[in-house]
Amino acid sequence: MKHLLVCLALVAPLVHAAPGNETFDAAVEQTFEHYRLPGLAVGVIEDGEIVYTRTLGEVRAGGGEKIDNDTLFKIASNSKAMTAGVLARLVDAGKLKWDDPVTKYLPQFRMHDPWVTQQMQVRDLLIHNSGLGLGAGDLMLWPEPNQFTRADIIAGLAHLKPTHSFRANYAYDNLLYVVAGEVAAAAGGAPYEELLKRELFQPLGMRRCQVGEWNRAQVGNVAQPHMRTAQGNRVIREDAEVVPDLTSMAAGGIRCSLDDMLVWMDMWLSPERTPAWLSPAQRKAVWTAHMPMPVNARMRAWDNSHFSAYGYGWRLSDVDGIWKVAHTGTLAGMYSSVILLPDQRTGIVILINGEGEAARTVLGQVLTKHFTAPGTSPTVAHYAALLDKERTGERATRPKPDTGHRTRATVRAMAPWMGHYRDPWFGEVTLCATGDRVRFSAARSPMLTGTVMRVDERWLVDWDEDSVDAEPWLHFTPAQAGSDAGLKLSHVDPEADFSYDYADLDFHRTQACR
């Protein structure tokens, strides 16, 4: 309790109404307008002090409730650093070690390869080196809501086949962060959401952050996700009155306000304010380059970067010769970014409740350059144009097939393939007639429901929910002696989000339609 009071006393004065900054105002306003965002919250810490905060837009487009410093946003994968922070606290407390085997805390844990199961350490859960493919198994997490539990995640891992050798390749992963949350719960003696409150939110004074199950009306001021349509921004996947305890919490299910995120950043940038929260040894461990990452063409061209790596819940790189520690967060209709320049005690946080991938990239770049390349004055328009050019080139090399001439698949044409199918980790889907349509429906992921369409000699699923924006091709294999008919899926759009990990599915027909 004494440490808690000391921490609160040190952190509380940090949050205040920051003065305006014309340069920052211009970048924020131009980004907001250029990308037609429903809402945006931005904060900047420079040399350990808040120098800027700005909020624009609405909690719900057209609803009239303005976003402010207390508005809750989904921070998505910026949750990973918080999970790593909780584990680091448990290491400090002597309740676990980074090199402990995962099975010490979760005896039921299994990877596809028994040797990998035995060798997987707690640290490996955090650095994307498991050998699994990009986003493997993410369909057990998203789209939300679904019926997969954390126990399902742990059980499903045994069925996900690796694409690389263990510890030999970086491939971004979410499932193992869910496992990391369960390791923390086992070592810490409390459910993950209680650990997060006990070890992070309460001692640091992050008073608005929410985890576990909570009541939307009681908490209040909760930003809703949006998608952009021809008519403007539209709310998608709106929160119910009771927000559920999300299976994805440790990987990407935390919500925090702008002021909360400023407190979080300050703890890392000015550790002397909260010396009791984490030891110097664990601060170093979290920001050590544990897994090399590729330096892509954009990093070389925009930032003159020479190295890139993953720490525990953070990405590490250099920008214009300056050390950068950062992460992004991406969910349907919600985008976030945290950028730290530790040697300058400088940090930037961006929270968006709309389709904000490009906006997050462009605004983060302009604000970062203000500190890493002062005097160059890059603009939002400059980086927006570069990003548009880059994406035009990507589309030219990996074009999306033209599916505009699709027609509804007939029951007669689909008859040889209809039935109930099962995948060992994803479970059952049905491909059956409803009236004159053939419907695809996933038993444990209700948002993956749609109508089968025909495009020339191919089949795809047109999802009912517009926010499920990655359509799959259906690939059937006929039944043979000793085996049932098979079904595999692949992306129609080669640029679709990797969390629609259709390539990891391997369905086999189990029975005819009832």
Distance of CA 364 to the CA centre of its chain: 17
CA distance linking residue 350 with residue 403, whole number of Å: 35
- Whether the upstream peptide bond of residue 145 has omega within 30° of 0, thus cis, is yes
User: What does the pLDDT read at residue 153?
Assistant: 98
**Whether pLDDT at 6 is above 60:** no
**Whether pLDDT at 212 is above 70:** yes
pLDDT band at 7 (very low <50, low <70, confident <90, very high): very low
CA distance linking residue 379 with residue 389, whole number of Å: 16
User: What does the pLDDT read at residue 285?
Assistant: 98
User: What does the pLDDT read at residue 18?
Assistant: 57
Tokens of 355: 């389709």
Give which of 14, 354, 8, 72 is closest to 211, Cα–Cα.
72
What is the domain partition of the chain in residue ranges?
2-93+178-392, 407-511
**Whether pLDDT at 110 is above 60:** yes
The rounded mean pLDDT for the chain is 95
Question: What are the pLDDT digits (tens) for 303-336?
Answer: 999 999 999 999 999 999 999 999 999 999 999 9
**CATH code of domain 2-93+178-392:** 3.40.710.10
CA 364, 38, 146, 454 torsion-angle sign: negative
Give which of 359, 356, 305, 362 is closest to 334, Cα–Cα.
356
User: What does the pLDDT read at residue 1?
Assistant: 37
pLDDT band at 480 (very low <50, low <70, confident <90, very high): confident
CA distance linking residue 20 with residue 37, whole number of Å: 21
Distance of CA 169 to the CA centre of its chain: 20
- Helix (H) or strand (E) holding 426, with range, is none
The answer to which of 158-167, 406-415, 438-447, 472-481 has the lowest mean pLDDT is 472-481
Distance of CA 400 to the CA centre of its chain: 24
Question: What are the pLDDT digits (tens) for 279-295?
Answer: 999 999 999 999 999 99
Exposed e or buried b for every residue in 328-354, given b needs 16+ CB within 10 A?
bbbbbbbbbbbbbbbebbbbbbbbbbb
**Whether pLDDT at 261 is above 60:** yes
CA distance linking residue 94 with residue 191, whole number of Å: 18
Mean pLDDT on 407-421: 97
Instruction: Return the CATH architecture of domain 407-511.
Output: Beta Barrel (2.40)
User: What does the pLDDT read at residue 20?
Assistant: 61
pLDDT band at 17 (very low <50, low <70, confident <90, very high): very low
pLDDT band at 395 (very low <50, low <70, confident <90, very high): confident
User: Which residues 6+ apart lie within 8 Å of 295 measured at CB?
Assistant: 305, 306, 307, 308, 317
pLDDT band at 396 (very low <50, low <70, confident <90, very high): confident
CA distances from 281 to 89, 91, 199, 284, 292 (A): 11, 10, 17, 5, 21
Give which of 459, 450, 456 is closest to 490, Cα–Cα.
459
- Helix (H) or strand (E) holding 8, with range, is helix 2-11
CA distances from 163 to 64, 129, 472, 487 (A): 48, 11, 21, 20
Q: 333, 354 in Cβ contact below 8 A?
A: yes
Burial of 306 (C-beta count, 10 Å sphere; 0-12/13-18/19+):
exposed
DSSP string covering 47-81: TTEEEEEEEEEBSSTTS--B--TT-BEE-GGGHHH
pTM of the model: 0.95
Question: What are the pLDDT digits (tens) for 64-106?
Answer: 999 999 999 999 999 999 999 999 999 999 999 999 999 999 9
Alpha helices in 39-163 (DSSP H): 79-92, 114-119, 150-156
Q: 55, 45 in Cβ contact below 8 A?
A: no
SS3 content of the chain, % helix, strand, coil (to 5): 35, 25, 40
pLDDT band at 8 (very low <50, low <70, confident <90, very high): very low
Q: Do domains 2-93+178-392 and 407-511 have the same CATH topology?
A: no
Percent residues over pLDDT 70 in the chain = 96
Q: Strand, coil or helix: what is 99?
A: coil
DSSP state at residue 417: G
Q: Which residue has the tokens 């650093």?
A: 81
Cα first-last separation, the chain: 61
Mean pLDDT on 176-186: 98
User: What does the pLDDT read at residue 377?
Assistant: 84
Question: What are the pLDDT digits (tens) for 127-158?
Answer: 999 999 999 999 999 999 999 999 999 999 99
Alpha-carbon dihedral 205, 209, 210, 211, rounded to 10 degrees: -70
Mean pLDDT on 8-17: 42
**Whether pLDDT at 15 is above 90:** no
